[in-house]
Chain A
Amino acid sequence: MSDVAQTKIVGASVARKEGRDKVTGRARYVDDMTLPGMLHGGTVRGSIARGVIKKINFAPHIDWKEYVVVTAKDIPGKNCIALILDDQPCLADGCVNHPEEPIVLLAHADRHKLWKAIEAVSIEYEELPALETIEQSEALREIIWGTNNTFKTFLIEKGDVQAIWAGAAQIVEGEYFTGAQEQLYIENNGIIAAFNADDGLTIWGSLQCPYYVHKAMMKLFALTEDKVRVVQMETGGAFGGKEEYPSMLAGHAGLLAMKSGQPVKMIYDRMEDMVATTKRHPSRTCHRTAVSADGKILGGEIDFVIDGGAYATLSSVVLSRGTIHAGGPYHWPSVRIRSKAVATNTPPHGAFRGFGAPQCLFAMERHMDRIAQAVGISATEIRRRNFLRPGQTTTTQQKVSEDVNLEYLLDRALKLSDYDAKKRSFAAENLSGTKKRGMGIAAFLHGAGFTGSGERYLDSVAGVEGCADGTVRVLVSSTEFGQGTNTVLCQIAAETLRIPYDSVAIAQPDTTAVPNSGPTVASRTVMVVGKLVHSAALGLKQTLVGAGLLGETYTAEQFRTACGTLAAERGALKSYARYQAPPGVYWDDEKYRGEAYATYAWAVYVAEVAVDLPTFSVAINDFVALQEVGKVLHPVLAEGQIVGGIAQAIGYAVYEKVAWEHGRMRNNQMTNYIMPTSSDLPPIRVYFEEFGNPHGAYGAKGIGELPMDGPAPAIINAVEDATGVRCNAVPMLPEDLFAAMRGEKDAHLSGIPEAQMR
């Protein structure tokens, strides 16, 4: 790796590569594109949670000959959206397992006539009993998936959990819950598909992972890989919500395109997107912890369950990440972590920034405060005494090999937030008045990249191309959806080649033109793919040097000439680099033990809240976010990621509640699913520490998901500090705090009562 201290482009806040198009309205999102002869596609969805489809009625007042009609029978390949298992049908065939399951597809040239036709299809069912919650799924009164409603289980064992209880001064128990959360990207899901016998299927869309869609389409249409092309358009936010779902929508649009012979555009409106697509997995975590008299964790048991919805989709991977992160940044001499993902009759839950870690880290950080209370020491002290230190091992027995100093991070965060002084003055102020103020802490970690052998399995490839005009193009399937992929990968290439940032462009992700650098998920893009771009760029340079066209040192002009010459001569000048696992990173999939991630980012967040007792509302008055991220490659983008993630996590903590009614989201509109506006968010102060990362491009660690993990527990810890009221569930709306203050059990489970509703 180059000497980071001397980088000129990496480390600077260069202009966003596609920024000009975005501020002028020229950026092209999928709904901005039309193709000649294009039809509009729509979906007829099921209205019950579980049952057998008896009859599909097409109302006689519609001239159905005008429409393209597709059902499961029209699927040429396998009726599934291939992901990990093949259990999720592309179109329901004979039965439905969740509300809003897609059953019939329609297309028409007129959007309005299409909508009328969708409303004119009615379905008769034989309804079956449905499961709505984790508890109902576990009770097994109905088996809705596999033999016992369980998609996946994991078991992590370390040390000797039997032996810890006898010697414990305290045994601290706690149960923690997190609810579903909607990604709420401002651009809804959308796909355009075209199909012809010669070229096969082409997909343009708002998506994170072109090669996931590619793989799923091959199976659905029984096409070879050269007959499927997937192109990513400008994408208006994703956050994981466009990791797997676009394959479903692409399948639908593709089927309509195939049947009609015309291009088909399918764009969800907000109501459909919210009710039908994936959300964050709800969770329940039970902790039982043996603690010594001086507040050291001797060990414990952690039971972690997530609700996967009706089909397996990505639940096993979400579960995996949650399981591995469940112990937080602490030393557990002994631990047993049991986890499972269970099925319910709700639309399948899916990827959302954090991917299992926000759930279990909420539990861990609430539980640490509870342990502190049981032992009689402060929230800061309990963490100090249990932080992982270099040389110790994690719950998966991964040795902490980096030089992390969590106590230093804690001290710095406390200083930045004026924690001690505020705690003292709030304690005095809270004795009177109707506003109660409090401080809360969360300490956490986030492993970037795919777990364990995941990156090896992905086998990612990145390319750097020298063009005939002397410029350079980055070739990756990694997508831009606001986080800065385009900008940072071009920075890395430019820095590595020592040419101007403006001489480097990045190819639009198109599976016919770019290699598979893996999905744009798991905070891996800068760290893992960036490193491949760096290697590929070095390869390009070496090629030019080897061809005698460039010396070991050169000017930008010399590079341009050399590159242009060789590219023109050879017709194409592409350098590829393939992922290589770092040495000494070993993961045992059977025992779930070993180096789970090549590296972790570490953080301590501090929230200051004011609770207005008459209205039970929580205002966050200050928020300090301190994280160690290896190296900041682009200060503005890095800050933007942290602030944006914190904003989403504040929503997760106190605003965003999905109101479920028989497995269906009732509040599927922006007016009643509440995300924070500009008037709601506190000043968010972001600070970085940079300890480097030998496994990441220019020393960077992944940071996209990290900020999602800390705010919820920090805020709820602060609310307890302010009011003495213990809430163990998020989202915590004022109504929930109110219920908790009245001592209602299971307050979080109180949905909106069905009686008396308008």
Chain B
Amino acid sequence: MRSDPADYLLVAPQSLHDAVALLASEPGAWLPIAGGTDVMVLYGAGKLPARKLVSIRDLRELRGIEEFPNEIAIGAGCTYTDLRKHPAIAREFPMLVSAASWTGGIANQNRGTLGGNIANASPAADSLPALLAYDAELLLTSVRGERRIAYRNFHLGYKKTAMYADELIRAIYVPRKYSGYVSFARKIGARQAQAIAKISIAGLGRMADGVIDDVRIALGSVAPVPLRLEKMEAVLLGKNVQSLPVEDLRRLVAAEISPIADIRSTADYRAVVAGNLVVEFLRQLSSGKAST
């Protein structure tokens, strides 16, 4: 344990109102901590720059999953376990459930939150490709009020987000419009459980009359941010995928990604496997098989 608890303030406001007021009082000085599965790892290693922490774990306003006719609102404080247990999420957003089941082991799923995964903004985070593919929206809250932004506009650069220093993620909205869609989620980690993704994919699409009617391809760990392959999606719309040469598909993938070498994997491996995963998704999309 390489940090001294005596050097850290941790407060636990009783309401969301109090929490955002604290953030506003000294913007950037207070680091929110929910389940702690990211923050406490840095802390234990003596690598946590923040010295003032505000616990948002027990804020009721951040919990709960609420179903509306057109969307489901997932409280940012929902844990991966909460996600896995919820019948509507399992039915309509299976890629969120598989992402949750791939995150850590059971103990970390019981504590880690969806909001934390988003706010930590690692390009390797498990839930983020699925949220991109589902076109999620985030509800951000502060003393100045609340705003909704499209999740695809949230990540601006490596660990840099569109959130202001005094904001918290309050909820994640996912639109209920994917019935009949084919989904394809894969996480390639160093092992089957408790692994950071070397590369991950969340693919979602629908065919109509033999051509692609809608397609979303989201990848993790191939860029400084989780990435939708927007250019490739635009090219694929209206096409009969089976008529496209595999090498063209790979080239489209390669044009949009910029994988690096790091302690987990190499750039070449990531690049080739990314291409393979996208090709496999499109093959399944065109044959109508779902696979999460």
Closest chain B residue, CB of each to CB of A112: B4
Closest chain A residue, CB of each to CB of B272: A738
Are the CB atoms of B267 and A756 closer together than 8 Å?
yes
Which residues from chain A contact B91 at a C-beta distance below 8 Å?
none
Contact with A along B257-291 (1 / 0, CB 8 A): 00011111111110011001101100000000000
Identify which of A284-292, A353-361, A409-417, A664-672 touches chain B. A664-672
Given A112-B4, A679-B193, A758-B260, also A753-B277 (CB < 8 A): no
Are the CB atoms of B263 and A757 closer together than 8 Å?
yes
Contact with A along B5-42 (1 / 0, CB 8 A): 11000000000000000000000000000000000010
Tell me, in angstroms, the Cα distance from A701 to B72 when the chains sit together: 63
Cβ of B91 to closest chain A Cβ, rounded Å: 25
Within 8 A of B (CB), among A646-695: 655, 659, 666-667, 669, 671-672, 674, 676-680
- A614 contacts B by Cβ under 8 Å: yes
Are the CB atoms of B46 and A674 closer together than 8 Å?
no
Given A112-B5, A757-B261, also A677-B276 (CB < 8 A): no
- B208 contacts A by Cβ under 8 Å: no
- A615 contacts B by Cβ under 8 Å: yes
Are the CB atoms of A680 and B263 closer together than 8 Å?
no
- A115 contacts B by Cβ under 8 Å: yes
Tell me, in angstroms, the Cα distance from A122 to B179 when the chains sit together: 62
Interface centre among B105, B191, B196, B262 (most CB of A within 10 A): B191
- B163 contacts A by Cβ under 8 Å: no
- B192 contacts A by Cβ under 8 Å: yes
Cβ of B223 to closest chain A Cβ, rounded Å: 13
> Which listed residue (A616, A674, A750) contacts B191, Cβ 8 A?
A674
- B45 contacts A by Cβ under 8 Å: yes
Contact with B along A232-246 (1 / 0, CB 8 A): 000000000000000
- A617 contacts B by Cβ under 8 Å: yes
Within 8 A of B (CB), among A611-632: 613-617
Cβ of B263 to closest chain A Cβ, rounded Å: 5
Tell me, in angstroms, the Cα distance from A616 to B276 when the chains sit together: 10
- A469 contacts B by Cβ under 8 Å: no
- B195 contacts A by Cβ under 8 Å: yes
Are the CB atoms of B190 and A674 closer together than 8 Å?
yes
Are the CB atoms of A672 and B260 closer together than 8 Å?
no
- A752 contacts B by Cβ under 8 Å: yes
Are the CB atoms of B269 and A734 closer together than 8 Å?
yes
- A20 contacts B by Cβ under 8 Å: no
- B188 contacts A by Cβ under 8 Å: yes
Given A112-B5, A112-B6, A615-B276, also A753-B266 (CB < 8 A): yes
Tell me, in angstroms, the Cα distance from A243 to B41 when the chains sit together: 30
Are the CB atoms of A115 and B2 closer together than 8 Å?
yes
- A124 contacts B by Cβ under 8 Å: no
Which residues from chain B contact A271 at a C-beta distance below 8 Å?
45
Which residues from chain B contact A112 at a C-beta distance below 8 Å?
1, 3-6
- A402 contacts B by Cβ under 8 Å: no
Contact with B along A85-129 (1 / 0, CB 8 A): 000000000000000000000000001110110000000000000
- A226 contacts B by Cβ under 8 Å: no
- B292 contacts A by Cβ under 8 Å: no
- A557 contacts B by Cβ under 8 Å: no
Interface centre among B5, B41, B266 (most CB of A within 10 A): B266
- A735 contacts B by Cβ under 8 Å: yes
Are the CB atoms of B263 and A756 closer together than 8 Å?
no
Are the CB atoms of B266 and A752 closer together than 8 Å?
yes
- B242 contacts A by Cβ under 8 Å: no
- B120 contacts A by Cβ under 8 Å: no
Are the CB atoms of B195 and A674 closer together than 8 Å?
yes
Given A112-B5, A115-B46, A758-B260, also A671-B269 (CB < 8 A): no
> Which listed residue (A116, A269, A752) contacts B1, Cβ 8 A?
A269
Tell me, in angstroms, the Cα distance from A111 to B6 when the chains sit together: 12
Are the CB atoms of B269 and A680 closer together than 8 Å?
no
Are the CB atoms of B269 and A655 closer together than 8 Å?
no
Closest chain B residue, CB of each to CB of A666: B263
Which residues from chain A contact B267 at a C-beta distance below 8 Å?
756
Are the CB atoms of B192 and A679 closer together than 8 Å?
yes
Within 8 A of B (CB), among A234-266: none
Which residues from chain A contact B279 at a C-beta distance below 8 Å?
614
- B194 contacts A by Cβ under 8 Å: yes
Are the CB atoms of A752 and B262 closer together than 8 Å?
yes
Which residues from chain B contact A739 at a C-beta distance below 8 Å?
268-269
Which residues from chain A contact B261 at a C-beta distance below 8 Å?
752-753, 755-757
Are the CB atoms of B46 and A659 closer together than 8 Å?
no
> Which listed residue (B3, B6, B191, B273) contacts A676, Cβ 8 A?
B191
Which residues from chain B contact A671 at a C-beta distance below 8 Å?
41, 196
Cβ of B75 to closest chain A Cβ, rounded Å: 27
Which residues from chain A contact B269 at a C-beta distance below 8 Å?
616, 734-735, 738-739
Tell me, in angstroms, the Cα distance from A735 to B261 when the chains sit together: 11
Cβ of B142 to closest chain A Cβ, rounded Å: 30
Cβ of A292 to closest chain B Cβ, rounded Å: 42
Closest chain B residue, CB of each to CB of A742: B268
Closest chain B residue, CB of each to CB of A672: B263
Closest chain B residue, CB of each to CB of A656: B190
Cβ of A236 to closest chain B Cβ, rounded Å: 18
Tell me, in angstroms, the Cα distance from A677 to B194 when the chains sit together: 8
Cβ of A195 to closest chain B Cβ, rounded Å: 26
Are the CB atoms of B46 and A680 closer together than 8 Å?
no
Cβ of B45 to closest chain A Cβ, rounded Å: 7
Given A655-B190, A680-B192, also A672-B264 (CB < 8 A): yes
Which residues from chain A contact B272 at a C-beta distance below 8 Å?
738
Which residues from chain B contact A755 at a C-beta distance below 8 Å?
261
Closest chain B residue, CB of each to CB of A738: B269
Closest chain B residue, CB of each to CB of A675: B191
Tell me, in angstroms, the Cα distance from A313 to B226 when the chains sit together: 48
Closest chain B residue, CB of each to CB of A754: B261
Contact with B along A719-750 (1 / 0, CB 8 A): 00000000000000111001100000000001
Cβ of A687 to closest chain B Cβ, rounded Å: 26
Are the CB atoms of B2 and A659 closer together than 8 Å?
no
Given A112-B4, A115-B46, A679-B193, also A617-B262 (CB < 8 A): no
Within 8 A of B (CB), among A553-568: none
Cβ of B221 to closest chain A Cβ, rounded Å: 11
Are the CB atoms of B280 and A614 closer together than 8 Å?
yes
Within 8 A of A (CB), among B237-269: 260-269
Are the CB atoms of A614 and B276 closer together than 8 Å?
yes
Are the CB atoms of B193 and A677 closer together than 8 Å?
yes
Closest chain A residue, CB of each to CB of B264: A672
Tell me, in angstroms, the Cα distance from A116 to B1 when the chains sit together: 11
Are the CB atoms of B260 and A616 closer together than 8 Å?
no
> Which listed residue (B188, B192, B264) contacts A677, Cβ 8 A?
B192
Tell me, in angstroms, the Cα distance from A175 to B245 when the chains sit together: 40
Are the CB atoms of A659 and B263 closer together than 8 Å?
yes
Within 8 A of B (CB), among A570-596: none
Given A112-B5, A614-B273, also A735-B191 (CB < 8 A): no
Tell me, in angstroms, the Cα distance from A677 to B273 when the chains sit together: 23
Contact with A along B176-188 (1 / 0, CB 8 A): 0000000000001
Tell me, in angstroms, the Cα distance from A674 to B261 when the chains sit together: 17
Are the CB atoms of B191 and A757 closer together than 8 Å?
no
Tell me, in angstroms, the Cα distance from A659 to B266 when the chains sit together: 12
Known pairs A655-B191, A659-B263; list 6 more (Cβ under 8 Å).
Answer: A112-B5, A672-B196, A674-B195, A756-B262, A756-B267, A758-B262
Q: What 9 A-B pairs have minimum CB-CB distances, sorted nearest first?
A: A112-B4, A614-B276, A679-B192, A674-B190, A679-B193, A735-B269, A677-B193, A753-B261, A680-B191
Residues of B within 8 A of A (CB): 1-6, 41, 45-46, 105, 188, 190-196, 260-269, 272-273, 276-277, 279-280
Can you sample 12 A-B contacts with CB below 8 Å? A116-B4, A269-B1, A615-B276, A655-B190, A667-B263, A676-B191, A679-B191, A735-B269, A738-B268, A755-B261, A756-B262, A758-B260
